[in-house]
Amino acid sequence: MTKGTAMNKAENFLRKYGLHEDCFNFEEHVRGFTAEMEAGLSGRESSLLMLPSYLGVEPETPPSGEVIAVDAGGTNIRIALVSFKPGEEPAVNRLEKHRLPGSDGEITKDEFFGRIAAYIGERTDASGDAGFCFSFPSEIGADRDGKIIHFDKEVKVKDSAGRYIGKELNDAFIAVGKAPLNVTVLNDTAAALIGGVVSQGVSGMGGYIGMIYGTGFNVCYYDPVKKMLINTEAGGYSGITPSVCDAEIDAESDDPGKQRLEKMVSGAYFSSVALKAIRLAAREGLFRTGTAELIGGLAGLDAVTIDAFMREDGGRGTSPGVLFSEPEDAALLYGIFDGLYERAAKLLAIAITAVLARSGASAAHKGYIVAEGSAFRYGFRFRERFERYIMANARGDRPYELKLADDHVLIGAGASVFL
């Protein structure tokens, strides 16, 4: 069996089980995503929450001062001081990273915020302002505090739903005899976008979009009608038919029925989808007997391993390539993984295409996209695939500029207190 034959075999398998990118009509799903956006904005039932941020995207005057920045992500939490001086690049100082409380087992909300207050520590001597980037669904009020809707990405914090992030953090400070902070809460997509705009001095674009594609997946944009950033909670979109692998992962998760798109594409779940797919292929008899037995015995897969395997073109020097005694099996594995990357890129491009249109961006007035996240940055040929799908649908000039974020989430969290 040649590599081309193995790739065809992989494509036929992926189509059979609804895992191939051809199973999703781009224009049809852009319309579906758009309809869910409009429903959410108008207060009707929708799988897209379309949460207001009460934040703009461009400061009227350059920010100045030092701010505590908190980035509570899907796996880690980062704490820093961000220094702003007019005419200079923002500086990130005293940066620390810790495992996010609740990511290694269920804890109480008091433990969650108590640990974060301890991580912030003596930075309160430098600033009484804090921008808190919260990478989970939350409802932001006009006072810029955020009410937790729920945790996801397998983070477990008991009795947290309905609690206010800024208030809980300040209660933790008061409990240890420290003064409360002036806390601005925002979503990670908003933080990435604001950080990119402030750092690069961007202005006058046709639209503004922030995207996170790492452990989770989400998108925000500046809504020209609402006059603020809107957090779409894109990972919750339910208009795409899941495969049998996706359905199993959803059923096995802590929040079945929620975050359906996120569970199909994001870094927290991609390797699980891949493992279920190759196990299914093994049961179908697509691999040789010895290989099928090895696949059945795999305890798990991770994205780093899959990426390394793909970059070596299925080479046997990289696990899981070392499992395969025959190059045909490695080629089939490569084809399945490659098809899953294509599917993920297409589904993300569908969401971004709908958001670009809603933001007011066009070929004549380009949108500005800030993309953050390890899956977007390091996923095998992911950016290339993602942009190919957007451009195929655009049928003309590029309707956007794309900037990869670095420390923009922390910078944006800090800058939010000035907006």
The domain limits of the chain are 65-193+409-418
Q: Report, as an integer, the average pLDDT of 309-336.
A: 74
User: What's the pLDDT score for residue 294?
Assistant: 86
User: What's the pLDDT score for residue 5?
Assistant: 83
Q: How far apart are CA 416 and CA 198, in angstroms?
A: 10
User: What's the pLDDT score for residue 312?
Assistant: 83
Question: pTM (2 decimals)?
Answer: 0.90
Q: What tens digit of pLDDT does each residue of 99-156 get?
A: 999 988 999 999 999 999 999 998 999 999 999 999 898 999 999 999 999 887 778 9
Looking at 317-331, 345-359, 365-379, which range is the least confident one?
Answer: 317-331
Residue 1 clears pLDDT 80, i.e. is over it: no
Residue 290 clears pLDDT 90, i.e. is over it: no
Reported confidence tier of residue 70, pLDDT bands at 50, 70, 90: very high
User: What's the pLDDT score for residue 193?
Assistant: 96
Q: What tens digit of pLDDT does each residue of 354-366 get?
A: 999 999 999 999 9
Q: Is 295 exposed, middle or buried (0-12, 13-18, 19+ CB in 10 A)?
A: buried
**Average pLDDT, rounded, for the chain:** 92
User: What's the pLDDT score for residue 407?
Assistant: 73
Identify whether the C-beta of residue 100 lies closer than 8 Å to the C-beta of residue 152.
Answer: no
Reported confidence tier of residue 211, pLDDT bands at 50, 70, 90: very high
Contacts of 118 (CB under 8 A, 6+ apart): none
Residue 94 clears pLDDT 90, i.e. is over it: yes
User: 65-193+409-418 architecture in CATH?
Assistant: 2-Layer Sandwich (3.30)
Q: How far apart are CA 298 and CA 230, in angstroms?
A: 41
Residue 201 clears pLDDT 90, i.e. is over it: no
